[in-house]
Amino acid sequence: MNVLLSAVQIQERIDALAKVVAADYRDHPLSIVGVLTGSLMFLADLVRRLDLPLRIGFIQASSYRGEATRPGELRLGPEIFSDVRDRHVLLLDDILDTGHTLVGLKARFSQLGPKSVKVGVLLRKIGRQEVAIEPDYVGFEIPDAFVVGYGLDFNDEYRNLPYIAKLDGPDDAAKAAS
């Protein structure tokens, strides 16, 4: 595996994003909804840097299952969030790949009566988007590569890595596991 973003780079960028988010939502009711499971690390580190009154919730959405490295059909799981009516919603995801997941989720939340729905992603893959969506907050733009670490997985492994690395294929997965 080749490290694309070190743990230090990630934390420094989250510091910068937190300052922008805090300024944008100062004195506004905010609900942050993380897309499970990939956004967990990003959400946890971001909210610890926000000195705002906020609610935290989650929704499970997945288009990658098992050993897949290409997205399949979007599946939504249980929702764990409180009422977002008349609140600003910040939808956080680990990565903007094709965009289908975020377009669907943004439309779904927009129907729940929020004041606004914005999108934040830790990573944005260049050259992969199939649908039009422009995230409001982007941590890093990365090349079209399959990445793991800091919440991102391959077959439910590697989420715990403090950095983000390019996973080239099964040989990399076997080496990383040993």
Least Cα distance to 71 among 2, 5, 128, 142 occurs for 128
Sign for the CA dihedral angle at 153, 173, 150, 70 comes to negative
The count of domains in the chain is 1
Sheet of 147-148, strands arranged across = 2-5, 164-166, 147-148
On whether residue 30 sits in a domain, the answer given is yes
Length of the chain: 178
- Residue 15 annotated to the active site: no
pLDDT recorded at residue 96: 94
pLDDT recorded at residue 9: 98
For residue 75, the enclosing domain spans 7-142
Note down pLDDT in tens along the chain; length 178 residues: 899 999 999 999 999 999 999 999 998 989 999 998 899 999 999 999 999 999 999 998 765 544 544 555 555 555 656 778 899 999 999 999 989 889 989 998 899 899 999 999 999 999 888 898 999 999 999 999 999 999 999 988 999 999 999 987 655 554 444 4
On whether residue 87 sits in a domain, the answer given is yes
On whether residue 111 sits in a domain, the answer given is yes
Helices 40-47 and 7-25 sit at what angle, rounded to 10 degrees? 60
On whether residue 170 sits in a domain, the answer given is no
Least Cα distance to 164 among 124, 107, 131 occurs for 124
- Say how far apart CA 98 and CA 100 lie, in whole Å: 6
- In the set 94, 97, 136, 144, the catalytic residue is 97
Helix, strand, coil shares of the chain, percent, nearest 5, are: 25, 35, 40
On whether residue 96 sits in a domain, the answer given is yes
